[in-house]
C-alpha cells in the first residue's frame, strides 16, 4: 500500500520509551525537547491582537515583509551576514522538508554528524538519498578532519546543528572555518540548523554562514520563545535555492501561520536574554551534578546533555531509569550507537535535582 519512500520511516526507539513511561504516575521528566516556560506575555498579546484585528488570512508565501526586515537586521547585527533571500517557514521542520525535497534525490549522499537530530535521518531517507553518519564520539564535536574520510563524489549536503540536539555541543569559529573550506573544496551545500542559538552559554554567536556562501541557515521561534505550537521558522541562503523552496511552499504549506509571524517580529526585538541566563544556571546544575559520576561532555548551549552510560547498553540503562520513575531518552534514538542517553534540563530545578539523585543511584 505504501510508497517506497516511506518504508524506512519508523519510530520504534522513542515509542518504546513512551510506552514504558505510560505506566508512570508522576515521573521525573527530563525527556521533553521544549522549554519549560510559556510564550512570553508580550508575544501572546501581539498574537491575540493580530487575530482580533483580523490578521487571519494567508500571508505572502515568503512571509510578511516586517518579519523579513527583522530577520535580516538580526543576522546582520549578529554575524554581519546579509543573505540573498529569506523564506519564512512552518517551523524549522517545514524548512528542513522543503530544503531536502529541493536538493537531494536517489544517488546523493548526505553527511549527518552522529549523534544527530532525528529529522535529518528520516527526511533524507524520505527523499531517497543516502544518510552517511559521521562518527563524532567521544567528544561529540564535528570537525573537518572527522568529515573528510566520509566525502565521496556523491556527497551533496552536510548538516550542521549548533548548539546541538541531543548533545548541546557548540561549534567554534576555527572549526567552522575549516569545515567551510572543506565544503568549498568539494562543492558541498551546508544546512546549518541554529534553532538553539539563543541558548548559548560560554561564547559569542558564530555561524558558518559568515565563512561560506553555499549555506542554508535555518532558525525559528520554537525554542527561544517557546512558540512550538505556533509553527514559525525561517530559511536564508542562496537565491536559487530559497526561490525553489518558496515555490514548493506555495504548493504545500502555503505560508506560516499569520498571527505567529507578527509575534515572531516582536520575539526578535525582545530577545531571550533572561531565559538564557536561567538555562545557563540549569546547565551548570546538571553538569556539576553528573560530572563526577558519568563520562560527560560539558554542553555549551541548547538545553540537553548527553552522558555516557557506564557499562550496560543505553537502552537497558534507560529502562532501569524508567523503572525508577525517571524519564530520559536512550542515545540510540539519535545515533547509530547505543552508549549514551539524552537529558533535557528544560525543567524546574527540583526536577533536575531529583533526576540527578536517581541517576546517581543507578550506577
Ligand atoms: C535541532 C532541531 N531542529 C529543528 C527542530 C524543529 O523545530 P520547529 O519546531 O521549528 O519545527 C528541533 C525540535 O526539537 C530541533 O531540536
CATH number of domain containing 222: 3.40.640.10
Mean pLDDT of 39-63: 98
Residues 290, 264 share a domain:
no
Query: Which helix (H) or strand (E) is 277 found in, with range?
Result: helix 273-290
Mean pLDDT of 252-271: 98
* 251 shares its domain with 218: yes
pLDDT digits (tens, 9 = 90+) for 164-193: 999 999 999 999 999 999 999 999 999 999
Q: How far is the CA of 334 from the centre of ligand 1 (A)?
A: 13
Query: What per-residue confidence (pLDDT) applies to 254?
Result: 98
Distance CA 110, CA 250 (A): 26
The pTM (predicted TM-score) of the whole model is 0.97
| 220 CB within 6 A, ligand 1 | yes
DSSP 314: H
Residue 83 belongs to domain spanning: 43-270
Instruction: Identify whether residues 18 and 47 lie together within a single domain.
Output: no
Q: Ligand 1 within 6 A of 193 CB?
A: yes
Q: What is the pLDDT, as a whole number, of residue 15?
A: 75
pLDDT exceeds cutoff 90 at 345: yes
Predicted confidence at residue 19, as pLDDT, reads: 80
pLDDT in tens, 317-336: 999 999 999 999 999 999 99
* For ligand 1, mutation pick of 115, 118, 216, 222 (most atoms within 8 Å of CB): 222
Question: Using a 6 Å cutoff on CB, does residue 34 contact ligand 1?
Answer: no
Task: Specify whether 110 is located in the same domain as 169.
Answer: yes
Nearest CA among 313, 241, 225 for reference residue 276:
225
Does residue 50 share a domain with residue 20?
no
pLDDT given for residue 140 in this prediction:
98
| Cell numbers at 362, concatenated | 543507578
Going by pLDDT thresholds of 50, 70 and 90, the confidence category of residue 14 is confident
Which tens digit of pLDDT belongs to each residue from 53-112? 999 999 999 999 999 999 999 999 999 999 999 999 999 999 999 999 999 999 999 999
Compute, in angstroms, the gap from residue 1 CA to the centroid of ligand 1. 30
Domain end, chosen from 247, 270, 293, is at: 270
> Is the Cβ atom of 233 under 6 angstroms away from ligand 1?
yes
Question: Is the pLDDT higher at 288 or at 311?
Answer: 288
Give the pLDDT confidence score for residue 54 in this predicted structure: 98
Q: Which atom of ligand 1 is nearest to the CA of 117?
A: 1
- Ligand 1 center to 195 CA (angstroms): 6
- As given in the structure block, the three cell numbers for residue 46 are 501581539
- Percent of the chain surpassing pLDDT 70: 100
Cβ partners under 8 Å of residue 93, min gap 6: 119, 233
Residue 311 has pLDDT above 90, yes or no: no
CA-closest candidate to residue 219, choices 268, 170, 266: 268
Indicate if the pLDDT at residue 13 is higher than 80.
no
Q: Are residue 24 and residue 51 in the same domain, yes or no?
A: no
Task: Please compute, for residue 189, the number of CA atoms within 13 A of its CA located in the half-sphere on the CB side.
Answer: 19
Q: Is 103 helix (H, G, I), strand (E, B) or coil?
A: helix
Residue 219's SS3 state is strand
Query: How many domains are there within the chain?
Result: 2
158 φ, ψ (degrees, to nearest 5): -130, 130
Do 47 and 166 have their domain in common?
yes
Domain termination residue (choose one: 234, 250, 270) = 270
CB atoms within 10 A of CB 311: 7
The average pLDDT across 9-22 equals: 78
| Angstrom distance (rounded) from CA 360 to CA 282 | 18
Q: Is the pLDDT of residue 12 over 80?
A: no
Q: How sure is the predictor about 284, in pLDDT bands with cuts at 50, 70 and 90? A: very high
The predicted pLDDT at position 43 comes to 98
Ligand 1 atom 16: residue of nearest CA: 165
Mark 98-108 as b/e (b = at least 16 C-beta within 10 Å). bbbbbbbeeeb
Are both 198 and 93 inside the same structural domain?
yes
| 17 and 60 part of one domain | no
Q: How confident is the model at residue 11 (pLDDT cuts 50, 70, 90)?
A: confident
Q: Say which residues have a Cβ less than 8 Å from residue 336's Cβ, sequence separation at least 6.
A: 114, 133
Q: Which helix (H) or strand (E) holds 233?
A: strand 233-237
C-alpha radius of gyration, the chain, whole number: 20
> For residue 220, is pLDDT > 90?
yes
Residue located nearest, by CA, to atom 13 of ligand 1: 33
Amino acid at each position: 500500500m505504501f510508497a517506497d519512500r516511506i518504508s524506512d520511516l519508523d519510530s520504534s526507539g522513542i515509542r518504546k520509551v513512551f510506552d514504558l513511561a505510560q505506566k508512570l504516575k508522576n515521573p521525573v521528566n527530563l525527556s521533553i525537547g521544549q522549554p519549560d516556560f510559556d510564550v512570553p506575555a508580550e508575544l501572546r498579546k501581539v498574537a491575540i491582537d493580530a487575530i482580533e484585528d483580523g490578521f487571519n488570512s494567508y500571508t505572502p508565501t515568503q512571509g510578511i515583509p516586517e518579519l523579513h526586515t527583522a530577520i535580516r537586521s538580526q543576522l546582520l547585527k549578529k554575524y554581519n551576514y546579509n543573505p540573498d533571500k529569506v523564506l519564512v517557514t512552518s517551523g524549522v521542520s517545514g524548512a528542513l522538508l522543503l530544503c531536502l525535497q529541493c536538493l537531494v534525490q536517489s544517488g546523493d549522499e548526505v553527511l549527518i554528524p552522529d549523534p544527530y537530530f532525528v529529522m535529518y535521518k528520516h527526511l533524507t531517507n524520505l527523499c531517497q538519498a543516502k544518510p552517511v553518519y559521521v562518527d563524532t564520539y567521544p567528544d561529540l564535536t564535528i570537525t573537518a578532519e572527522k568529515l573528510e574520510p566520509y566525502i565521496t563524489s556523491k556527497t551533496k549536503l552536510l548538516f550542521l546543528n549548533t548548539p546541538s540536539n541531543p548533545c548541546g555541543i557548540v561549534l567554534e569559529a576555527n572549526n567552522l572555518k575549516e569545515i567551510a573550506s572543506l565544503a568549498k573544496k568539494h562543492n558541498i551545500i551546508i544546512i546549518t540548523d541554529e534553532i538553539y542559538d539563543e541558548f548559548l552559554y560560554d561564547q559569542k554567536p558564530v555561524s558558518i554562514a559568515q565563512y561560506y556562501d553555499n549555506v542554508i541557515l535555518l532558525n525559528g521561534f520554537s525554542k527561544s520563545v517557546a512558540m512550538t505550537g505556533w509553527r514559525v521558522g525561517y530559511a536564508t541562503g542562496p537565491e536559487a535555492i530559497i526561490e525553489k523552496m518558496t515555490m514548493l511552499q506555495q504548493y504545500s504549506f502555503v505560508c506560516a501561520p499569520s498571527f505567529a509571524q507578527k509575534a515572531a517580529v516582536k520575539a526578535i526585538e525582545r530577545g531571550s536574554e533572561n531565559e538564557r541566563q536561567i538555562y545557563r544556571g540549569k546547565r551548570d546544575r546538571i553538569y556539576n551534578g553528573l560530572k563526577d559520576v558519568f563520562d560527560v561532555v560539558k554542553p555549551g548551549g541548547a538545553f540537553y546533555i548527553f552522558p555516557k552510560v557506564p557499562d550496560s547498553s543505553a537502552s537497558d540503562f534507560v529502562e532501569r531509569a524508567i523503572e525508577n520513575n525517571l524519564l530520559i531518552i536512550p542515545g540510540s534514538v539519535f545515533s547509530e550507537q547505543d552508549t549514551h542517553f539524552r537529558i533535557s534540563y528544560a525543567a524546574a530545578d527540583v526536577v533536575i535535582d531529583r533526576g540527578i539523585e536517581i541517576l546517581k543511584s543507578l550506577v
